[in-house]
Amino acid sequence: DAGVIQSPRHEVTEMGQEVTLRCKPISGHDYLFWYRQTMMRGLELLIYFNNNVPIDDSGMPEDRFSAKMPNASFSTLKIQPSEPRDSAVYFCASSLQTTYGYTFGSGTRLTVV
Amino acid sequence: KQEVTQIPAALSVPEGENLVLNCSFTDSAIYNLQWFRQDPGKGLTSLLLIQSSQREQTSGRLNASLDKSSGRSTLYIAASQPGDSATYLCAVGISGNTPLVFGKGTRLSVIA
C-alpha cells in the first residue's frame, strides 16, 4: 500500500480564494481524520469520519471550512473563502481504530497571502 | 477537556547522550498513550503504544513509561544519534471511540 496520499503538497493562494485539499486513505481503514498543525496551536483535530460518515466536526474553526468523504477512498477539505490565518500544515490520517494505528499522510502546506 | 503538554518545546544534546522527553496530561482516565516521531516536512510515525493497564513499552533504544495517577509519561532515548533528530509528539487516547489528543511536541536536535 502506498500509504495515505495527500495532494497538493504545497498550496499558495490569495486571500479570498477557494482551496481544496485532497486525501486518499489506506484501503480498508474505516476512520479518516483531518488535522491542522501550527507552531502556536500544535496538532488540532478538525473533523473525523467513520465509514464515510462525519462523526465529529466540532474542531472545524468556522463555516468557511467544510469536509466531505463521498466514498471510502477519497476525502476533501475545502476552505472558502481562505484567509491568511488559515496558513498551516493540514494532515490527513486513517486507521482501523480511533485510538491507535494511525497512518498519516505527508501533509499539505497551505500559505494564504 | 483533556490537555496534553510537552516540556521542553526544544532540546539540543550531544551525540551519545541519554535523554528523557516529558509528557503530561490533565485527565488520568485515559485509554492509551502513544509517542510519535515527525521528521521535517513529513507526517507522523508511531513509535510506541502504551495501553492504560501497562507501565512501559520498549523498542530498541526507546523506552516509554506511563504513570496514569500522576498524569505523566516519559520517552527515554538511549545513546542518542544524529538520526534521532526530529519532533517527538505524545498523544492520548481518551476512550475506545474518540480520536487521539496530541501535545505540541518536543523538537530534538542531536549534535554530532
Predicted pLDDT at B56: 95
What share of chain A in percent tops pLDDT 70? 99
Mutate to test the interface with B, among A5, A95, A99, A102 (most CBs of B within 10 A): A99
User: What is the Cα–Cα distance from B73 to B56, expressed in whole angstroms?
Assistant: 9
Q: Which residue of B has its CA nearest to A3?
A: B43
Residues of A in contact with B42 (CB under 8 A): 106-107
Strand blocks (E) in B1-112: 4-7, 10-14, 19-25, 32-38, 44-51, 56-59, 62-67, 72-77, 86-93, 101-102, 106-111
Q: pLDDT under 50 in chain B at which residues? A: none
Using the beta-carbon criterion (under 8 Å), do A106 and B105 form an inter-chain contact? no
Predicted pLDDT at B7: 93
Predicted pLDDT at B71: 95
Predicted pLDDT at A111: 98
Predicted pLDDT at A1: 66
The b/e string for B63-83 (b: 16+ C-beta within 10 A; e otherwise) is bbbbebeebbbbbebeebeee
